[in-house]
Structures are given as C-alpha cells and as structure tokens.
C-alpha cells in the first residue's frame, strides 16, 4: 500500500509539471502580451477566477450542506483556476481559442501563488470540521515550483527554440493527458468506496452547479465578442486539479474521503461544462450560416 501511495504521488507530480510544461511550449509571448494589453479583460478574469468563483464554491458547499470531505474538495477545486481542459472547451465551442489558451496559462500561474491562501482563508472562515488550517507556505512553495518553473522552461523554449518546442509539444500534451487519466483512475479506484458512497448524494450536483455558475461568471466578467466572453466562461468552468491534488497530499495525507470527493467534483464539473460548450458550438455554427 505504501508503494502504491508513493507511486500515486510521483505520477501526480509528473502530471502537474507536464501540464504546465506543455502549456509553456504551446504559449507564445505575443498571445500573452495581447491578454496583458487588454487590462480590463485581465482584471475581470482575475476577479472572476480568484475571488468570485472561490466564494461561490464556499456558498454552494454551504447551501448543499456538504459533509466535511466534500466541502473541502469543492473549496479546493473552486480556489484553483486555470485547468488545462478549459482551453479545450474553447475549441469545442469554436470560440477565441488563442485568447482562451493564453488566459488559462496566466490563471494557472496566478493560481500557483493564490491557491493556498484562498483555500485556507475560506476553510478557516467556514470552520469546517474541527477547524482545518492548510500549511499555506508549504502549499504555495510546492505548487509554485511544480507549476511556474515547468511553465517558464516551456515558454522560454518556445521563444528561443520554437521548432524544438513545436516538436516537443505533442509529447508533453500526451504525457499530461495520460498521467491525468492515471491520477483520476487512481483517485476513483483507490477510493472507490468513498466515490460509490457519494453517488446519489448532493456532492455530484454541487460539482455540476459550481461548473455551471463558474461558466456564467467567467462569461459575464469578460469583455470582447460573444465568442471571446464564452471562451473565458469555459476557462473559468474548469478548475486546475494539480494544486488541489497537492493540497490533498500535503495537508490531508491523501485521505481517501477527500480524494474521492475531489474526483467526484472534478468529474461532475466536466460533465456539466461539456454540454454547455457543445450548445455554444451549435449556436456559433448557426450564426455563421
């Protein structure tokens, strides 16, 4: 069991680092500068993802009366912006893919620093369980190292050796996708009793509602064309699993109940976000014709 635990943690680290390395390889400085050159869009996206959605997660967890493990899971997910699948939702809905990808990596980078502080503040204020307090300094240090350094290396490679970056990018994306599936499978299979117990509970519904209101918040708190605004909504709807997994490992020693609840929240969120993107895609196609 100890060996499997260590293996799970190792694959989680690879997933987080590979995801941000792939994001760096796929990003371009002109695209990032374009977002930075639109200060209102950037500020609104930061407010939506770093303030509004974490507070909505807290509110949803309270409204649904979630048990401690599920409450922790939804707060961790809501506090962690910049999930890589958010940019893919932009592709599905035929939105502003370039702006979505750039915003996703900027939010993931910002979330590396804010995640631990935000999640800890909410869990402390909510007085979850017996009063949970996250090790903020350790979380910020770990998440920042695992996310910011690989992203910076990938971005610099893309800038100074673009042909190398383009050749490495597909492999990095594959590693990210495969390790994410392995981590998700490990969360589900290793904690299947907890996951099964959540079926029929309010936790999957809470995860779906969080994704839906995050999609709406990201869309409303954006500027530009309808395609760009809904793309920002998709980016907001998908939360970053990496920091949340790091928090479960550091603060909760991979407690099965929290891991199972986190897997349920992430999956139910994706299940809610995908149909929204599909509907927007059909609407976009109708507008074109």
In a domain, 241, yes or no: yes
**Running DSSP on this structure, what letter comes out for residue 66?**
-
In a domain, 289, yes or no: no
In a domain, 65, yes or no: yes
Mean per-residue pLDDT over the chain, rounded: 88
In a domain, 169, yes or no: yes
Q: Is there a contact between 234 and 100 (Cβ–Cβ < 8 Å)? A: yes
Cβ-proximal residues to 168 (8 Å cutoff; 6+ apart), any chain:
25, 157
Angle between helices 136-160 and 162-190 (to 10 degrees): 150
In a domain, 73, yes or no: yes
Token pair, residue 89, equals 């939702």
d(Cα 164, Cα 181) in Å, to the nearest integer?
26
Q: Mind listing the pLDDT tens digit for each residue in 201-251?
A: 899 999 999 999 999 999 999 999 999 999 999 999 999 988 998 898 888
Token pair, residue 265, equals 């929240």
CATH number, position 229: 1.20.1530.20
In a domain, 66, yes or no: yes
Supply the pLDDT for residue 163.
Answer: 94
Q: Tell me how far the alpha carbon of residue 286 is from its chain's centroid.
A: 30
d(Cα 5, Cα 9) in Å, to the nearest integer?
6
Token pair, residue 119, equals 């999640």
d(Cα 229, Cα 113) in Å, to the nearest integer?
25
Name the burial class of residue 136, with classes exposed (0-12), middle (13-18) and buried (19+) by CB atoms within 10 angstroms of its CB.
middle
CA angle centred on 266, ends 89 and 251, rounded to 5°: 130
Domain that holds residue 257: 2-284
- In angstroms, what CA-CA distances link 195 with 183, 189, 248, 260, 270? 15, 9, 16, 5, 16
- For 76, the enclosing helix (H) or strand (E) is helix 68-78
The residue ranges of the chain whose pLDDT is under 70 are 1-2, 4-5, 129-131, 192, 284-289
What is the value of pTM for the model shown?
A: 0.87
Supply the pLDDT for residue 289.
Answer: 52
Domain count, the chain: 1
Cβ-proximal residues to 115 (8 Å cutoff; 6+ apart), any chain:
79, 80, 139, 140, 143, 243, 247
Largest Cα–Cα separation, the chain: 58
d(Cα 219, Cα 231) in Å, to the nearest integer?
7
- In angstroms, what CA-CA distances link 110 with 44, 175, 243, 270? 14, 23, 12, 22
Q: Is there a contact between 154 and 17 (Cβ–Cβ < 8 Å)? A: no
In a domain, 155, yes or no: yes
- First and final CA of the chain: distance in angstroms? 57
């Amino acid at each position: 069991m100890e060996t499997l635990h260590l293996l799970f943690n190792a694959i989680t680290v690879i997933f987080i680092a590979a995801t941000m390395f792939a994001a760096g390889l796929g990003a371009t400085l002109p695209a990032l500068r374009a977002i930075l050159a639109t200060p209102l869009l950037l500020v609104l996206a930061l407010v939506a993802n770093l303030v509004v959605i974490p507070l909505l997660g807290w509110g949803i967890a309270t409204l649904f009366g979630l048990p401690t493990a599920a409450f922790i899971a939804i707060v961790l997910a809501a506090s962690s912006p910049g999930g890589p699948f958010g940019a893919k939702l932009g592709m599905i809905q035929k939105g502003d893919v370039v702006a979505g990808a750039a915003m996703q990596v900027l939010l993931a980078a910002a979330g590396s620093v804010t995640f631990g502080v935000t999640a800890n503040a909410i869990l402390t204020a909510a007085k979850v369980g017996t009063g949970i307090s996250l090790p903020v300094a350790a979380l910020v240090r770990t998440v920042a190292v695992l996310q910011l350094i690989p992203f910076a290396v990938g971005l610099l490679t893309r800038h100074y050796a673009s042909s190398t970056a383009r050749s490495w990018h597909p492999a990095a994306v594959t590693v990210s996708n495969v390790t994410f599936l392995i981590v998700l499978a490990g969360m589900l299979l290793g904690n299947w009793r907890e996951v099964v117990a959540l079926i029929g509970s309010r936790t999957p519904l809470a995860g779906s509602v969080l994704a839906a209101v995050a999609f709406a918040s990201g869309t409303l708190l954006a500027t530009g064309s309808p395609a760009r605004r809904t793309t920002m909504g998709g980016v907001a709807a998908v939360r970053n699993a990496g920091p949340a997994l790091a928090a479960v490992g550091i603060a909760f020693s991979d407690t099965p109940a929290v891991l199972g609840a986190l897997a349920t929240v992430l999956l139910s969120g994706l299940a809610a976000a995908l149909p929204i993107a599909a509907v927007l895609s059909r609407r976009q196609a109708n507008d074109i014709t």
